[in-house]
Amino acid sequence: MTVTVALVLEQTLNGLQYGVMLFLMAAGLTLVFGIMNFVNLAHGSLYMVGAYLATAFAAWSGSFVLGAALALPATLLVGIVVEVVALRTLYERDHLDQVLATFGLILFFNELIAIIWGRAAIYTSLPPFLGGHIRVLPGVPYPAYRAGIILVGVAVAVLLWVLVTRTRLGMRIRAGASNRTMVSALGVNIRLLYTLVFGLGAALAGLAGAMAGPIYSVQPGMGEAILIQVFVVIVIGGIGSIRGAMVGAIVVGMADTLGRAFLKPMLATVISPPAADKAGPALASMLIYLLMAAVLFFRPEGLFPARGRS
């Protein structure tokens, strides 16, 4: 297989887009984790809920954009309900409790979705206005929808950054993360704040789900498929920082994509092709974990930790 410059460029673009997709999923998680020190395994479930709701609303309204737009507040609502009913008491607890409790929520949500929509995957399709291709590179028709994902991801990154650093709400969020007691003594309703942040995280997860629906399989358990990778992203990037999530996502997206594409041919230049055939795919699946281990070895808190944290 010949590796041309055009192919390398195309794969780089693919890696970028995959990274942006990961960022969309990671943004909400790192926000909740960083601001509230809360490990939310059920983030994947909210992503799944977003995908299902967006599909349902799109089918009902006939418009993909309307479906996604309705899914966001709906997922936000689901997130808030979950937070108020089940998760409030967990903020004070250690990470293990949070991991286990939210893992329990994963089981619950998977079954709930299976009961409502059945276990089989449901049908999703690209919105017609994004169904075409754009000529990014000569001879390479790039799916317009994927380009759309990149745009949405970048827009979300910018909006989040503006929200957290330039608005009063963002200021309160950051202050609350720094010193909860002091902020509440100053009159800010910390409980409400945390609920809002969790809701925001849920909405982001829902957005990721809505965007993923047309290209991925929408079925119970779809959240777990991405969950590990998303955690790897925020761990590499540094927990709590949007910048870290973006960097981590791009790094993981690139490493994974380029690894899958080029690891085998690269290995084949040093070891025999049959051995490369076996080692290539195995190594490619381990790649992001090796990457994470390497990053943590040199920087035990990730690349851009939000603040010094034990």
Give the CA angle between residues 300, 302, 305 to the nearest 5°.
110
Span from 66-74, 139-147, 181-189, 196-204 in contact with other proteins (CB under 8 A): 139-147
Under rule CB under 8 A, residue 303 binds other proteins: no
Query: Which of 183/252 has CB closer to other proteins?
Result: 252
Q: How far is the CB of 186 from other proteins (least distance, A)?
A: 28
Q: Is there binding between residue 198 and other proteins (CB under 8 A)? A: no
284 binds other proteins (CB under 8 A): yes
- What's the CA gap between 69 and 85, in Å, rounded? 25
> CA-CA distance, 31 to 79, in Å (whole number)?
14
Which part of the chain contacts other proteins (CB under 8 A), choosing from 57-65, 152-160, 175-183, 209-217? 209-217
Least separation in angstroms between CB 167 and other proteins: 28
Stretch that binds other proteins, among 24-32, 202-210, 243-251, 256-264 (CB under 8 A): 256-264
How many residues would you count in the chain? 310
| Residue 97 interacts with other proteins (CB under 8 A): yes or no | yes
- Residue 203 Cβ, how far from other proteins at the closest point, in Å? 22
The answer to whether residue 261 forms part of the interface with other proteins (CB under 8 A) is yes
293 binds other proteins (CB under 8 A): yes
Q: How far apart are CA 218 and CA 31, in angstroms?
A: 25
- Residue 133, interface with other proteins (CB under 8 A)? yes
Nearer to other proteins, 121 or 158 (CB): 121
Query: Among 65, 81, 84, 107, which residue interacts with other proteins (rule: CB under 8 A)?
Result: 107
Our finding on whether 120 is near other proteins (CB under 8 A) is yes
5 scored as a contact of other proteins (CB under 8 A): no
Question: Judged by CB, which is closer to other proteins: 18, or 23?
Answer: 18
- 260 lies in the binding site for other proteins (CB under 8 A): yes
Among residues 75 and 219, whose Cβ is nearest to other proteins? 219
Q: Is the Cβ of residue 119 or residue 191 nearer to other proteins in the bound state?
A: 119
With binding defined as CB under 8 A, does residue 225 bind other proteins? Answer: yes
Q: Interface with other proteins includes 271 (CB under 8 A)? A: no
Q: Does 104 bind other proteins (CB under 8 A)?
A: yes
Is residue 177 a contact point for other proteins (CB under 8 A)? no
At its nearest, how many Å lie between other proteins and the CB of residue 155?
A: 21
46 within 8 A of 79, measured Cβ to Cβ = yes
* Inter-helix orientation angle 144-166/190-212, to 10°: 170
